[in-house]
Amino acid sequence: MIDSSLTNIQQVSAHYIGNPANSESLRLSEAPMEVNDEKVHQLLRTYFLSNFTTPEYYTFTFSNEDFTLNPIYKFAMDIFQEPESFHENSVNLAKHLYGATQHPNIKAGELYIAYFDSIEVQNMSVEAIGIFKSENKENYLKLSPQFSMSADEGINIKKLDKGCLILNAEKEEGYKVLIVDNINKSDAQFWKHDFLNVKPRSDAFHHTNNFMKLTKQYVEDQLAEEFSVSKADKIDLLNRSMDFFRSKEEFSKAEFEVDVLGNADVIESFRNYGNNFMTTNNLDPMDNFEISVQAVKRQARVFKSILKLDKNFHIYIHGSRELIEKGFDEVTGKHFYKLYFDSES
């Protein structure tokens, strides 16, 4: 897990990033900001770090896979090696972001670069560099002691638009990088790919997350194309998949196929779909890996177990599939489900 409760902001610089596609300018500061007020320091720390709650790590890459050529990797390395170069490299980062801002839909905003002295990650304390962009402002009202009302706009410290935390760990593999991107999908690739140029690390979180995504997509998009299955059958398969990941510490694809899929034809179909999924998403083989509890919790939010019948009924399916029967009533001309149970509450 990530613990930033004891960290301090050693330095922070701010710049304004316009959109050159909209003839907006780049405005650079001449020196780091002075943050002497403890309350402001605490608010900045909350704004910068409170959104980094999940250990979903990325690493720097480049077009030829040589991450050492990635400009942000080089700027970060310079700062870690020579902290006195912090502001100079914050300017380099601002210029790089401005150059990457090519789509007219990308909003202008303030860029903050921060240097943190201690971030606790997996029982290890490391320095970190934060890159944060504020694109949206909110209106607020303020009542003075004289009971006069004024209006202004500012940043909601609980809503970070775009963020990146570069941990001074595993430099030889392209650093460990965390990302926040809460802006709409129209510029979803901009922050992660055009500016940062990062790729998911080959670790437990991404393996678990990707395999559960694969399973969900297969059940929703492919299973009914090849086999005669009901909506209840799909939900049952998703439930068994979730139970498998929740009950295991180590993942075995062979064990998953037997325990969850069972049928030989379904297993073959799943393998074919999985091969295409991994090729399309440029993923490493996922035959055996440690299961990430955090990734399972994330996917649990989208593994739906609700059977919706017209606009009249929602049936939540959590138990045995054998206790549900589907049929068709020829008199009414309607489908029906029959549920078996011992008691109601």
Residue spans per domain, the chain: 2-200, 204-339
Q: What 3-state DSSP class applies to 27? A: strand
pLDDT given at position 309 = 77
Flag whether pLDDT at 167 surpasses 80. Answer: yes
> Which of 10 and 309 is assigned the larger pLDDT?
10
Mean pLDDT, range 206-231, rounded to an integer: 92
Q: Identify the band that residue 184 occupies on the pLDDT scale cut at 50, 70 and 90.
A: low
Look up residue 238 and give its two tokens. Answer: 């998703």
Q: What are phi and psi of 131, to 5 degrees?
A: -125, 120
* Residues whose CB is less than 8 angstroms from the CB of residue 330 and which lie 6 or more positions away in sequence, other chains included: none
Mean pLDDT, range 175-192, rounded to an integer: 79
pLDDT tens per residue, range 23-38: 999 999 999 999 989 9
The overall average pLDDT reported for the chain is 90
Flag whether pLDDT at 186 surpasses 60. Answer: no
Q: Identify the band that residue 53 occupies on the pLDDT scale cut at 50, 70 and 90.
A: confident
Global confidence as pTM: 0.80
CA–CA separation, 41 and 36 (whole Å): 7
Mean pLDDT, range 221-249, rounded to an integer: 90
**Best-predicted range by mean pLDDT among 140-144, 311-315, 340-344?**
140-144
Mean pLDDT, range 261-276, rounded to an integer: 94
Q: Identify the band that residue 333 occupies on the pLDDT scale cut at 50, 70 and 90.
A: confident
**Distance in angstroms between the alpha carbons of the first and the last residue of the chain:** 39
Share of the chain above pLDDT 90, in %: 63
